[in-house]
């Protein structure tokens, strides 16, 4: 056992002295977390979409103005859209065609007149074809406004007819537009119940989990480099001539990678929290357990890479390809829910998938018991990789 830890300590020191290894394992993940989290930080954060839209009111009556006031006076709508009220319909159409505006609403000049006459009238909604989702949101808001206004108009007409039938004086003179209250988006009373939803995770927190899950496996590649180098330089052959057995040698090298992985995880955990304010969740023990489990998987992967690679160059090709495959299917780059369905079965063999899922679950409030199934899956994958690597390893 003493020999195992001596070998582990020696390998860990060799990797720590390698500047290229430290750059890949520490500097690169922190840089990617900052870049991706900052670039995509508006996704999933807050309620503001900042969609640029415009309203053109050409109505000569007061109905169009009430419609404009209803849209621009709503705090909920203001949080979603940057609304520009214009009087130049052609300029607005051109802006939508060029993509400078996501969508626009044009109120026709005869809106009040046709409503007073009981004639059908339509509003014109323009949408940028390149922003179908955002434009569709604006169109849905306009439809809600139209439905609201229509209900109020019908209510006014019905009241006038009832009063006329009872012989009372209608509240508006014949031919005048029905007088409606100001259009709002809360015409129907509702009972608000706050739903119990998962804690919202910021994009920089998401990519902290994703990049950590991916780059923890890169320690395996440098561990395999060291094994192959010692095999080429006959260092392993000399070690085999000592009382140290093969199991101690392999175990020591695996433990060395494990030590590097644990240290790397500690640096990334503390670094992301201090530099970017990442909230890893309230249960630190669960987070550490998930990270330590992947460090074990990295140790197993190191043995597999050392067994498959005949040289540092071959490992440099096999290792990143395998790690990127695990990361791509495991949610390091994009949420797994957005992956094609045919890739979903591959997730179960990806230690990154279980690790990233565990990190995100803890960020949402999961306990140690909640992450144990995922931790067990990562440990099982690591054990399989270690067993396969040990079986196929060549020492000479």
Q: How far apart are CA 161 and CA 78, in angstroms?
A: 37
| Structure token pair of residue 352 | 């990154």
Q: Which of 165, 187, 221 is the last residue of a domain?
A: 165
Q: Which of 135, 165, 195 is the last residue of a domain?
A: 165
Average pLDDT, the chain: 80
Q: Which of 108, 138, 165 is the last residue of a domain?
A: 165
In angstroms, the Cα distances linking 186 to 71, 137, 191 are 12, 18, 12
Residue 76 has pLDDT above 90, yes or no: no
Asked if the structure places residue 10 within a domain, the reply is yes
Per mean pLDDT, which range of 103-112, 202-211, 370-379 is the poorest? Answer: 103-112
Using one digit for the tens of pLDDT, what is the confidence trace for 326-356? 998 898 888 887 788 787 778 889 999 999 9
| Structure token pair of residue 367 | 């306990």
pLDDT at 160: 62
Same domain (yes/no): 119, 18: no
- Cα 298 to its chain centre, rounded Å, is 25
Phi, psi of 199 (to 5 degrees): -60, 135
Asked if the structure places residue 209 within a domain, the reply is yes
CA distance from start to end of the chain: 23
Mapped onto helix, strand or coil, the DSSP state of residue 84 is: strand
Using one digit for the tens of pLDDT, what is the confidence trace for 284-300? 999 999 999 999 999 99
Query: Across residues 59-86, what is the average pLDDT?
Result: 81
Share of the chain above pLDDT 70, in %: 80
- The CATH number of the domain where 160 resides is what? 3.40.1710.10
Asked if the structure places residue 198 within a domain, the reply is no
Q: Where are the beta strands (DSSP E) in 58-209?
A: 81-86, 103-107, 124-127
Residue 49 has pLDDT above 60, yes or no: no
pLDDT at 211: 93
Per mean pLDDT, which range of 43-52, 214-223, 387-396 is the poorest? Answer: 43-52
pTM of this structure: 0.62
Query: Across residues 64-93, what is the average pLDDT?
Result: 82
Asked if the structure places residue 189 within a domain, the reply is no
pLDDT at 168: 55
Same domain (yes/no): 153, 234: no
Same domain (yes/no): 223, 82: no
Number of helices and strands in the chain (H, E): 16, 4
The range of the structural domain enclosing residue 363 comes to 2-43+203-392
Using one digit for the tens of pLDDT, what is the confidence trace for 308-330? 888 888 888 999 999 999 998 89
Asked if the structure places residue 185 within a domain, the reply is no
Same domain (yes/no): 76, 32: no
Q: How far apart are CA 358 and CA 283, in angstroms?
A: 12
- Which of 22-26, 88-92, 221-225, 377-381 shows the highest mean pLDDT? 377-381
Same domain (yes/no): 214, 293: yes
Same domain (yes/no): 311, 387: yes
What angle, rounded to 10 degrees, do the helices at 218-232 and 246-276 form?
150
Same domain (yes/no): 34, 57: no
pLDDT at 177: 47
What are 71's strand-pairing partners?
none
Q: How far apart are CA 300 and CA 296, in angstroms?
A: 6
What domain count does the chain have?
Answer: 2
Same domain (yes/no): 67, 30: no
């Amino acid at each position: 056992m003493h020999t195992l830890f001596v070998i582990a300590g020696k390998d860990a020191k060799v990797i720590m002295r390698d500047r290229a290894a430290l750059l890949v394992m520490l500097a690169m993940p922190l840089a990617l977390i900052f870049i991706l989290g900052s670039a995509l930080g508006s996704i999933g954060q807050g309620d503001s979409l900042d969609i640029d839209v415009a309203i053109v009111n050409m109505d000569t009556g007061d109905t169009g103005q009430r419609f404009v006031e209803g849209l621009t006076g709503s705090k909920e709508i203001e949080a979603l859209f940057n609304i520009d009220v214009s009087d130049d319909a052609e300029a607005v159409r051109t802006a939508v065609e060029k993509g400078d505006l996501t969508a626009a609403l044009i109120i026709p000049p005869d809106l009040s007149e046709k409503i007073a006459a009981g004639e059908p009238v339509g509003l014109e909604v323009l949408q940028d074809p390149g922003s179908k989702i955002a434009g569709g949101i604006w169109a849905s808001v306009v439809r809600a406004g139209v439905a609201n206004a229509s209900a109020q108009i019908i209510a006014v007409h019905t009241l006038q007819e009832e009063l006329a039938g009872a012989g009372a004086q209608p509240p508006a003179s014949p031919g005048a537009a029905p007088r409606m209250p100001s259009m709002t988006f809360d015409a129907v009373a509702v009972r608000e119940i706050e739903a119990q939803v998962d804690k919202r995770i910021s994009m920089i927190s998401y990519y902290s989990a994703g990049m950590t899950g991916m780059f923890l496996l890169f320690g395996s590649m440098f561990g395999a480099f060291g094994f192959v180098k010692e095999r080429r330089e006959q260092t392993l052959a000399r070690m085999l001539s000592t009382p140290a057995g093969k199991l101690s040698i392999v175990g020591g090298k695996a433990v060395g990678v494990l030590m590097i992985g644990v240290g790397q995880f500690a640096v990334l955990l503390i670094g992301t929290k201090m530099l970017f304010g990442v909230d890893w969740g309230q249960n630190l023990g669960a987070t550490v357990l998930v990270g330590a489990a992947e460090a074990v998987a990295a140790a197993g992967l190191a043995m597999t890479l050392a067994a498959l690679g005949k040289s540092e160059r071959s490992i440099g090709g096999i290792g990143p390809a395998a790690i990127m495959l695990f990361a791509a299917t495991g949610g390091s780059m994009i949420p797994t829910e957005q992956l094609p369905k045919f890739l979903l079965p591959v997730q179960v063999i990806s230690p990154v998938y279980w690790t990233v899922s565990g990190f995100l679950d803890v960020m949402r409030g999961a306990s140690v018991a909640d992450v144990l199934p995922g931790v067990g899956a990562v440990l099982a994958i690591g054990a399989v990789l270690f067993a396969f690597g040990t079986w196929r390893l060549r020492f000479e």
